Structure 1
Amino acid sequence: MIRYAISETDLVALINSEKPSWMGRAKQRIQSYIAAGGYTDDSDFWGEIKQVYITLQHEKCAYCETKLQGAVLASKVHEVEHYRPKSEVKAWPNHNVAHWKDFTPAWPTGTASNTGYYKLAYHPLNYAIACTRCNSTLKSSYFPIRGNRDTQNGNPADMQGESALLLYPVSLADPDDPQDIITFEGVLAVPKHSAGPAYERAVTNIEFFQLNHEDLTSRRAQEIINLWMAMEAATSTHASTAEKKMATKVIASLCNPRSQFTSCANSFQRLYNDDRTEAESIVGILVQALPE
């Protein structure tokens, strides 16, 4: 997970450029929800500004960093995700769900809410683009927090008291940069800190989004192998100048925010620079696991 840094002012400017009438209509819709005391309809129009977030996030899922190819012809693979659920909040972890049945955190994760964050249903800082896996299958209507739930607030900037456990990588609204919370050991997402709120937040995100599930680690493995080969070529005494130039370009591409699994690639690049022997050992294990 990486941060897509943008100010609220600049984000609104992009929305106005994409759909000039959207912000005004959004404010009217929120007023209707406030009058009703909750989210009341499903005639939504947040999809009209989906492209803003697709472009901002380089066509990647906000949570697992999978590249969602096809911003124009296959935009349905990009789902508009409400960071704080708009109509209800379910208690988490749900031990009836297989992938969370054995996860019992030692920290509070918040209570359920029948109304949800209806005042944020059309707030630009409550959106992100996510894949179906992370949004529909996992995120659903869950939103774990350490503090007290503040469903009556209409401004994310004033909601830090909730101590949200899920990271929000879009904009600078979240005080934590995801790469300061979660790092990688090979293909595995791990907490960057060993204790405290940052550790708890890392573990929650890793468990919540199943960031170490095989459907992600197998794809990260291929990226790491490609990165290893490029770094070896770039530093080889036997490679030509042209080969080293190509390898350097590949390294830059794999570690670029526009590529998938950027955070994992950055972590492996740091390991390679600090401890090439350990990096080689990890790649050896990954290569052994490749299907033949």
Structure 2
Amino acid sequence: MHDDQVDVPAEVVAALVEEQFPQWKGLEVRPVRSAGTVNAIFRIGDHLAARFPLRMADATRSALEREARASAELARVSPFPTPEPVAMGEPGLGYPMPWSVQTWLPGTPATDADPGGSPAFAEDLATFIAALRSAGTRGRRFSGTGRGGDLTHHDAWMEKCFTESERLLDVPRLRCLWSRLRWLPREDADVMSHGDLIPANVLVSDGRLTGVLDGGGFGPADPALDLVGAWHLLRTRPREVLRRSLGCDELSWERGMAWAFVQAMGLVWYYVDSNPAMSAMGRRTLDRILASAP
């Protein structure tokens, strides 16, 4: 999926697990099919999962440690199950970076069982978002460079997305929409947010939310950030259920649309060949936004 992607063979993973964590010797190690774009994931037995970063980075260890702290904090406040950190692995046997182990959360990803038409799922999603918002930032504020801060800070990225999408999307129409969304004012203080409520990170059963994955980005951000789930996950009627349940005003609702727009624009062109499912998800989100944007 990435030009600088690291190969992660299953036999290397099994050898690393056996070498570094002898207490798990004998447990079956097997790859997990996933629409994820950041880590290769492998089951260790029935209750654990190893996550191997796919792209080289100088600060991989500190990033994994930060993700572990965030995941542990999310698990304490979430009303739905989330994976918890267990251990940190070391580079070796040709794999060049640290890697992590967390608890395995069983369930069906929303990529495989679309809950988008379920009002009950929308209520569950609202319960999850509200619980995170009420957790309290303990004085922390958004300090990253990704989604969740100032919309206008993404202008350069959006320009690249528009350029790369010329043959894929109705770019003039999308540019016009961004020219309005980017100026939406921010009035509320930061709250705690998951930050990446896409179908691959949500587990469902019978149209209900059963768990949430990838909590490593849990942290303070624009209160509208987790509203991306309204556009990535829900159709029109359930989307309105979510809005009413959270009591969203027009400004915060449109900011949520703006953050979903930023994310979706990048997904379409970047993964059009390497991860068609992720690219298609971006297209679906943009279609929903265009259909509902004033």
> TM (normalized to structure 2)?
0.29
Greater gyration radius: 1
- Is the strand fraction higher in 1 or 2? 2
